[in-house]
Chain A
């Protein structure tokens, strides 16, 4: 009677599949080695760009058919004015609305489907399923811009994409504008009398982010204490927190990055057992943010930072 074994092994296989897929997913969000820009004169092709892995990508002429498989890269390209050169973006690239969204996937890329767009430059966030090898076989340059660890990584990636698409000067001014806005947000939050605690929620199973992540860096810049940092020993980037711990930590600010995935808001958070006792819930300092904005490392991080800085200012006013 061994009839159950196929079922059991199938179940296990599914579980391992999930784990494997998830680790890829997390790897995508926590990034690899820091990227490095090459100083290339604007719009003079061919340009060579040194990818994070160390390999150098040469782009022979100004690309007119860019395929982006990374939502963050898509946002960067459109923000610097390279949008007209983009012919296809992946199924997750939902911003800006004018981006030519397709069925292409950055998680399970299909080389033939990419080739069908006859690209002259492919941009992606990770090399999965033999993507780089496959695209190179088509003699198409491919640039991997992995998940940024901090704002500096983002600036470097914007400049690389600017150089790669002939928008070096536009990219420089985009970065300059971002830098100055970040500076003003940081200046706008005076050093608080006491440390304000923040809880950032990725979904309603209480996955959170530590200061080691891109979004965690933003909280750090704003002088907030991240309650997830205590769990960094368990998972350095994205720990799943115990609800008991969240309630006991009594955060001053709760940022909900699960408004789209899980439809969370102040009332659904207040309805959770025991959560009404949290000071952020009592005082209404529960900030709903767009899941996508909070999980990408593109130019819209400025919007996110503005929203959080506003609440930090309010909290400081209350405390004063």
Chain B
């Protein structure tokens, strides 16, 4: 999967001529949105901590140890985790939509969510509190579950349609997801004592092991984001249609495999620590398509920035709306995301969808 050299050189410039590049203005807006949401993320929470204290803490000044503890141990890692999870889910969604040329594709398309949920449920129900090499077994099991589900879907789709069409792969993913979901439901039904934790898991939350989780997923997230980013031109080329692209000498199947593996790896990693957070992978790329442009050279980088910003804000809402209680972040992403998306659709009246 690391043969990332099949890039710009492989895409004849003429193919990309009609598709807009990313303008600096939008890139700047994305960075600004991310910075602003991180600012909100570190400033709001059930415990009130002023701007001055936050700045003092960051520059190493003398602050109340209790507040410094809350910032360093809980709030900062949570904001960073939100950046990683949101950015990865959004870019993975954009990548899946490009590879499968399906507007409804999301990071969970090939069964990643079902696999992660099953893995996490099994770990919560049967191996509570255990850890492997110092890492909690729940994220590991979720990671393995997501990987297993997508690999299963890929193998099944390949054996049926030989990957000639994306539809076979998607149907295989649907079947695998249904199968995994049924096992997950059964385990949950029989292990009622762990139902609250499973429920917490499925709706997603960024309350985790602090910096440990950030470090745990960082390599996978970086690998995934970089790999997808390098394929943004090829994703643009794929919009021409499989036959045409193949005639241009672009190895469609290999591109599809690399992008799917990269998106799945990132998804599995972030789902492992954040649970199956809904909607980010669909709403963020489509909002960018509607507001900025359809080219993947625009959608891919902006998805990372705005996806990260969106999730950091959603998490800030999750821990303040009903403070000092919390809401699952999946509730917030869909509750805020769906109306926002509808408003964008109405205001742009995009025929392009």
- A269 to B182: give the CA distance in the assembly, Å: 34
Given contacts A1-B102, A107-B192, A205-B196, contact A273 B209 (CB under 8 A): yes
Q: Is B11 an interface residue (CB 8 A)?
A: no
The smallest C-beta distance from B286 to any residue of chain A, in angstroms, reads: 14
Set A202, A233, A250, A273: member contacting B210, Cβ < 8 A: A273
Cβ–Cβ contact A7 & B128, under 8 A: no
Point out the residues of chain B lying under 8 angstroms from A25, CB to CB.
192, 195-196
- CB contact list, B189-231 vs A, under 8 A: 189, 192-203, 205, 207, 209-212
Q: When A92-B192, A263-B128 are in contact, do A242 and B181 touch as well, CB less than 8 Å?
A: no
- Determine which residue in B77, B197, B201, B203 has the highest number of CB atoms from chain A within 10 A of its CB, and name it: B197
Whether the pair B69, A240 counts as a contact (CB closer than 8 A) is no
Residue of B111, B130, B197, B326 with highest tally of chain A CB at under 10 A = B326
Q: How far is the CB of B280 from chain A (nearest CB, A)?
A: 14
Give chain A nearest CB distance to B345 CB in angstroms.
Answer: 17
Given contacts A18-B188, A241-B325, contact A1 B104 (CB under 8 A): yes
Instruction: State whether A205 touches B205 (Cβ < 8 A).
Output: yes
Partner of B74, one of A10, A21, A234, A243: A243
Would you give the shortest CB distance from B207 to chain A, in whole angstroms? 6
Identify which of B70, B167, B205 contacts A248 (C-beta below 8 A): B70
Q: Verify A243–B207 contact, CB threshold 8 A.
A: yes
**Chain A residue with Cβ nearest B109:** A4
> Could you tell me the distance in whole angstroms from the C-beta of B272 to the nearest C-beta in chain A?
15
Minimal beta-carbon separation of A32 from chain B (angstroms) = 19
The residues of A that contact B66 with a CB separation of less than 8 Å are 247-248, 250, 277
Min Cβ gap A87→B in Å is: 23
Interface residues on A, range: 35 or more
From A1, A8, A11, A242, give the contact of B103 (CB < 8 A).
A1
Kindly identify which residue among A18, A202, A234 contacts B199, using a CB–CB cutoff of 8 Å: A18
Q: Residues of A contacting B101 with CB < 8 Å? A: 1
B13 beta carbon closer than 8 Å to chain A: no
Known A243-B207, A262-B129: A234·B322 in contact at CB below 8 Å = yes
Per the bound structure, the CA–CA distance linking A138 and B194 in Å amounts to 33
Complex: A268 Cα to B128 Cα, angstroms:
12
State whether A274 touches B69 (Cβ < 8 A): yes
Please measure, in the bound complex, the distance between the C-alpha atom of A243 and the C-alpha atom of B205, giving whole angstroms: 12
Residues from chain B with a CB closer than 8 A to the CB of A19 are 199
B319 interfacial by beta-carbon distance below 8 Å: yes
> Is B143 on the interface with A (CB-CB < 8 A)?
no
Interface contact B181-A11, CB-CB below 8 Å: yes
- In angstroms, Cα B327 to Cα A231, docked, is 11
The reply on B236 being an interface residue by CB < 8 A is no
* CB contact list, B13-36 vs A, under 8 A: none
B200–A205 contact, CB under 8 A? yes
Tell me if A129 counts as interface (CB < 8 A to partner B).
no
Q: Is the CB of A235 within 8 A of B325?
A: yes
Give the bracket for the number of chain B residues in contact with chain A: 35 or more
Q: How far is the CA of A123 from the CA of B322 in the complex (A)?
A: 38
Contact with B along A250-281 (1 / 0, CB 8 A): 10000000001111100010001110010000
A242–B323 CB distance below 8 A: yes
Tell me if B105 counts as interface (CB < 8 A to partner A): yes
- The CA of A243 and the CA of B130, in the complex, are separated in Å by 21
CA distance in complex: A233, B212 (Å): 32
- Residue of A2, A21, A235 near B195 (CB, 8 A) is A21
Contacts of A36 in B (CB 8 A): none
8 A Cβ contacts from B112-138 to A: 113-114, 117, 128-130
B73 CB, nearest partner CB in chain A, Å: 3
Which residue of B45, B77, B185, B195 contacts A14 across the interface (Cβ within 8 Å)?
B185
Contacts of B199 in A (CB 8 A): 18-19, 22
**A6, CB-defined interface residue at 8 Å:** yes
Cβ contacts B82-120/A at 8 Å (1 or 0 each): 000000000000000000111111101101011001000
Smallest CB separation, A296 vs chain B (Å): 12
Beyond known contacts A4-B170, A8-B106, A247-B69: 18 more, CB 8 A cutoff: A1-B103, A3-B170, A10-B181, A18-B195, A18-B199, A18-B202, A203-B196, A205-B200, A205-B201, A205-B207, A230-B324, A239-B324, A241-B324, A245-B47, A245-B324, A247-B66, A247-B73, A277-B66
User: Could you pull out 27 A-B pairs where Cβ atoms are within 8 angstroms?
Assistant: A1-B104, A7-B111, A10-B177, A18-B188, A18-B199, A18-B202, A19-B199, A92-B192, A92-B193, A107-B189, A204-B197, A207-B200, A231-B323, A241-B325, A242-B45, A242-B207, A245-B47, A247-B66, A247-B70, A247-B73, A249-B324, A261-B193, A264-B129, A273-B73, A273-B77, A273-B211, A273-B212
Minimum-distance CB pairs A-B, first 4: A263-B129, A274-B73, A273-B210, A234-B322
